Chains A and B, each alone.
Chain A
Amino acid sequence: MGIEFSFIVIDDSELDCFVTQKFLERTNKSLIIKTFQHAQHALEIIQKDFNENNSVPTIIFLDLQMPFMNGFKFVEEFEKFSPEIQKNYKIIILTILSSSTNPIDIHRILTYGAVNSIVEKPLTKEKLVLLLNQVRADI
Chain B
Amino acid sequence: MSGKIKILYVDDEPENLVGFKASLRLDYQILTAVNVPQAIIILNEHPEIRVVFCDQRMPGKTGVDFFEEIRMTHPLPVRIMLTAYTDVESIIDAINKGNIFRFVKKPWIEADIIWAIDEANKFYMANSMLSVKNDELQKAYNELNKFAYSVSHDIRGPLSGILGAINLASEIDDVEEMKEMLFLMEKSVKKLDAYVLSMHDYYSLQRGELKITEIDFNKVIDELKAIYSVLAKINNVTFDITIDQGEVFRSDYAPLRLIFNNLLSNAFKYQDRNNKSKSVEMTVEVKNSVATIHVKDNGIGILGSHVGEIFNLFYRSNSLEVGSGFGLYNVKSALLKLNGQIEVQSVLHQGTTFKVTIPSI
Contact = CB atoms under 8 A, between A and B. Distances in A.
A22 B167 CA distance: 11
Interface string B149-167: 1011100111011111101
Say whether chain B's binding surface is mostly helix, strand, loop, or mixed: helix
Contact of B180 (A18, A65, A100, A124): A18
Contacts of A130: none
A122 B164 contact: yes
Interface residues of B, number: 27
Contacts of A96: 152-153, 156-157, 160
Interface in B181-205: 181, 184-185, 187-188
A123 B162 CA distance: 11
Say whether chain A's binding surface is mostly helix, strand, loop, or mixed: loop
Contact of B157 (A19, A65, A125): A65
A90 B244 CA distance: 62
Given A37-B319, A98-B152, A13 B168 contact: no
Given A19-B168, A121-B160, A125-B167, A12 B152 contact: no
Nearest to A69: B319
Interface string A17-60: 01110110010000000000110000000000000000000000
A15 interface: yes
A14 interface: yes
Contact of A16 (B161, B172, B316): B161
Interface residues of A, number: 27
A67 B164 contact: no
A100 B171 contact: no
Contacts of B171: 22-23, 26, 125
Given A13-B188, A22-B177, 8 more contacts: A16-B164, A19-B161, A19-B165, A67-B319, A96-B157, A122-B160, A122-B167, A124-B164
Interface of A: 12-16, 18-20, 22-23, 26, 37-38, 65-68, 96, 98-101, 121-125
12 contacts: A13-B188, A23-B171, A96-B152, A96-B153, A100-B149, A100-B152, A121-B164, A122-B161, A122-B163, A123-B164, A123-B167, A124-B164
Top 9 closest A-B pairs, CB basis?
A122-B164, A100-B148, A98-B152, A15-B161, A15-B184, A121-B160, A19-B164, A67-B319, A65-B153
